[in-house]
Amino acid sequence: MGSASSIPGARDKARAAAAAAAAAAAADAGPSVAETIFALDQEHDTLAGVAEACLARALAGEDKTMRAALTAFLQARYAAEGLEFLLAVRRFAAVVDETLNERAQAIFDNFVAPGALSEVTLPKDVRNRIAHKLVTGTDLDSDAFDDAAAVVSHDLVKDALGSFVHMNRAS
């Protein structure tokens, strides 16, 4: 994932996009992103802890304002594929039915396969384990993408969400 400083104007673009998304989602009448981050600051000792909590809230869907702001922020940084992947994996794990193989293949094709349109960065061994499960059909269940999701979550927290938290902290 590229940093905001490596793309001219990305920081301003990210701020504007996050502000617009937060304003649009404010119709939910929930707390603002800054208010939520302030509350999370009280609960967590580290920036990474706050960033992880922001991601968890966005993924759970319980905080539409947070999800909209985080999505806009990541889109402005050309890094939204990580969040999109995590949301797809969450939906995949929630439903175990006869379409499991098809849905797993779609996630692989869209996010995991080398050269995929929304490819996420994964270690080769993680990518290969998923490919092996798809090819053989063995051990293909709702947790097929758990290792990949852990890697992507860690990378988002490490590479992007600290900036998101800093940008949205109340002054």
Q: What is the pLDDT of residues 122-157, one digit of tens each?
A: 999 999 999 999 998 777 888 899 999 999 999 999
pLDDT of residue 7: 47
Which of residues 59 and 4 earns the better pLDDT score? 59
Among 4-18, 31-45, 46-60, the minimum mean pLDDT is found in 4-18
Coil vs helix vs strand at 3: coil
Residue 24 pLDDT level (bands cut at 50, 70, 90): low
pLDDT digits (tens, 9 = 90+) for 94-108: 887 888 889 999 999
Answer for the pair 94, 87: CB distance below 8 angstroms, yes or no. no
pLDDT, average across residues 9-34: 61
pTM: 0.79
What percent helix, strand, coil does the chain show, rounded to 5? 75, 0, 25
Domains of the chain plus CATH, in order, are: 9-78+154-168 (no CATH), 80-153 (1.10.167.10)
Q: How much of the chain, in percent, has pLDDT values that exceed 70?
A: 82
What is the mean pLDDT of the segment spanning 10-38?
65
Measured CA distances, 164 to 21, 48, 75, 89, 155 (Å): 13, 11, 12, 22, 14
Which residue did the predictor score with more confidence, 138 or 7?
Answer: 138
